Structure 1
Amino acid sequence: MALLKRSSPSSFSPVRYISLPGLVIWVMVTYIAVDLGMHLSSSEHGRVHKQVMKELQSSLASRFAEKAAAEDESKLLRLDGEEDEAARCNSVEAHMDVFEGQARKPQDPWNQLKWGLPPADCRVKGHLIERLDPLNNYRRGVALGFTTDLDDKTQIEHWFLGTKEDLNQARRRVFIDLGANYFTSSVMWFMHRYPCDFTEVHAFEADPTLFKFPPGWDEERNWVEPERHGWAKIKSRAGHVPSWLLSRIRYYNKFAGVIDNASSVNITRFMKHELKLKPEDTVIVKMDIEGAEWPILREWIQDPDMPKLVDELFVELHYWHPDNNWESVKQWTREDATRMLADLRLKGFYAHYWD
């Protein structure tokens, strides 16, 4: 019988030599013992692991349920709030929430510090908008003594819809200036100040002596070498504008109104059928047409398509006021103007008073 020699006297067996069958039996018994121990250990570990996982899953499920319940409650509160606001703001009177600036207080930031106005209670197009101020809506900065610039528009700049939505995403971005006056009075003002790169501008001015295109310059050939600070200087004179901007502007020597004739354009028809504007286009309208705005706005209020086409409206409502003595608009009052703006907002126009 073959014998195997152990290499160390400190072996498991007290004898130094064991037979091959005995070794096989010893190995098998050892394997079975180790396997059984591992199985028992694994079973116990598995039981504990399953218990821990069960408790963890239960805890996570409980937390997820609590979070879902909290989110549902928050959503319901938000929806309730939106429904409450929608119900509360479903009238012209609600949108006539006005700034009572005449009630002066010792600490009055809106009359002593703020150029703009506080937000109105009712949102328009889902966004906050400035509260109406019938007392000082006409050149507010001048009325409050903040500036002597009669054309200052600081009070409305931070309420631009273009600061709340990215209006540049639209492929077609249109500015319509009704009563453009001089080129620099509103066309250039909007090009400078409004946060949208307009792809087309339509300017209406009935007085041919007012609106004149300024000289243009070629931006691509107008750069000089960078100076030592790494800046580049543009060689242009005051009053000049880039030629590419001038190419986007179309001028109409006509009145904007509600009828079509030799001297007037039905502006609603023009926007819908001539320009073929769509709700997906960005459309900003400025209107300062010396009383002709009233019939246009009355028409727009009755037309459900117009608040979908016009993203933002800036309008000067002309009415009789002792400070301006506009005899031609004596049939309209400051109350009429406030109500018209409120009605426009109720119908979905993001409308501001333009002076």
Structure 2
Amino acid sequence: MVLPRRNGEKLCSPFRSINVSIILIWTMVIYIVLDISLHLLSINHEQIRSEVKKDSLESKPDMKALASGEFEESESSESDDAVPSEKSCNTIEDYIDVKEGQAREAEDPWNQLKWCLPPAACRVNGHLIERAKRRVFTDLGANSFHTSIAWFATRYPVDFTEVYGFETARNLLTLPPGWDENSNWIDPGIHGWRKIRSRAGMVPSWFVRRVKTINKAAGVKDTGFSVNVTRFIKEELKLQPEDAVIVKIDIEGAEWPILYEWLKDPAMPKIVDELFVELHYFHPDNNWGSVKQWSREDATKMLAELRFKGFYAHYWD
């Protein structure tokens, strides 16, 4: 008997049950739903951006006033959130960020980032340093080149035109050889690994030429061993308030006479735009006998007095 051939393949084919019009309808429905969802999300994001922009504009200080050094308190800075009612900013105590015996909390970011974020309760004068023709970094207690000179050069938001490093140990602060970016090329006649000249992590020669080393101690008198830093800044460098001047001090206790002198000099807070200082004081844990006349409370008050006098000062460690 000859059986008839079955057409099971055609009968079971899934394409026989697909309706093209239904596919088109569902495609349009999915497209419309996605389009509406994306539109609603964009509206929500735009509202959030508008609110953030509004808040930032309300809290942003008057940069023109900052540049002229004539900044006045705005209405927004007098709000409860911006300026606490107990902050008068008229005494040194108003600038003390922590009382003796009180646990130290994280410092307000504005005290560490001068050029962004809302202002602190008690402000100091300043100007837009990136506009200055002379941008000077003076490192008192430079240690080795990569300790702080390279650190500031790579992290501080200014291209320094002049760098002065004070370090008594001649063999400690030595400048790297530097390399010329224009000569960092590949010789087409050399093949393989020899053709690769890597300069990763090295200091360009143009920056090394901007660095001057002074192998003397920073102090308040000119001697064979020390340099009067105030005279050096004012007379030798002839720095003015319109220049950008950043100073870092880490000189193992010798900072105290310099800072006391600067507190009495009304010109220095106008010249120095930002001051980083490590204040050395006696504590049983460190046993520094050379600074036994100064306590942690003295260090806290010194920083507050520097800010009160107009220095934009931070702890450096």
What does residue 259 of structure 2 align with?
Answer: 297
2:179 partner letter:
W
Instruction: Please tell me whether the aligned partners of residues 163 and 195 of structure 1 are also in contact (alpha carbons under 8 angstroms).
Output: no
Distance (whole Å) between structure 2 residues aligned to residue 214 and residue 263 of structure 1: 25
1:119 partner letter:
D
**Is 1:218 equivalent to 2:180 in the alignment?**
yes
Q: Which of 232, 236, 242 is the equivalent residue of 2:199?
A: 236
Paired residues, number: 226
- Structure 2: 5+ residue runs without aligned partners? 1-72, 118-126, 188-195
C-alpha RMSD over aligned residues:
2.9
- Structure 1: 5+ residue runs without aligned partners? 1-74, 105-109, 111-116, 121-127, 130-158, 226-232
**Is 1:95 equivalent to 2:95 in the alignment?**
yes
Alpha-carbon distance change, 76 to 202 in structure 1, aligned in 2, over 3 angstroms = closer
1:274 partner letter:
E
What does residue 114 of structure 2 align with?
Answer: 161
Instruction: Please tell me whether the aligned partners of residues 162 and 195 of structure 1 are also in contact (alpha carbons under 8 angstroms).
Output: no
Question: How far apart are residue 348 of structure 1 and its match?
Answer: 0.7
Q: Which of 319, 335, 342 is the equivalent residue of 2:281?
A: 319
1:325 partner letter:
N
Question: How far apart are residue 224 of structure 1 and its match?
Answer: 5.2
Question: How far apart are residue 166 of structure 1 and its match?
Answer: 4.5
1:98 partner letter:
V
Normalising by structure 1, what TM-score? 0.58
What does residue 269 of structure 1 align with?
Answer: 231
**Is 1:119 equivalent to 2:108 in the alignment?**
yes
Question: How far apart are residue 180 of structure 1 and its match?
Answer: 0.4
What does residue 202 of structure 1 align with?
Answer: 164
Question: How far apart are residue 308 of structure 1 and its match?
Answer: 0.3
The 5 A counterparts of 1:23-102 are 77-78=75-76, 88-98=88-98
Question: How far apart are residue 322 of structure 1 and its match?
Answer: 1.9
Greater relative CO, 1 or 2 (CA 8 Å, sep 6+): 2
Distance (whole Å) between structure 1 residues aligned to residue 167 and residue 184 of structure 2: 31
What does residue 354 of structure 1 align with?
Answer: 316
What does residue 301 of structure 2 align with?
Answer: 339
Question: How far apart are residue 119 of structure 1 and its match?
Answer: 1.8
Distance (whole Å) between structure 2 residues aligned to residue 171 and residue 85 of structure 1: 40
Give the match's secondary structure for 2:90: coil
Normalising by structure 2, what TM-score? 0.65
Question: How far apart are residue 209 of structure 1 and its match?
Answer: 2.2
Question: How far apart are residue 275 of structure 1 and its match?
Answer: 0.3
Alpha-carbon distance change, 119 to 220 in structure 1, aligned in 2, over 3 angstroms = same
Alpha-carbon distance change, 79 to 178 in structure 1, aligned in 2, over 3 angstroms = closer
Question: How far apart are residue 251 of structure 1 and its match?
Answer: 0.4
Instruction: Please tell me whether the aligned partners of residues 281 and 288 of structure 2 are also in contact (alpha carbons under 8 angstroms).
Output: yes
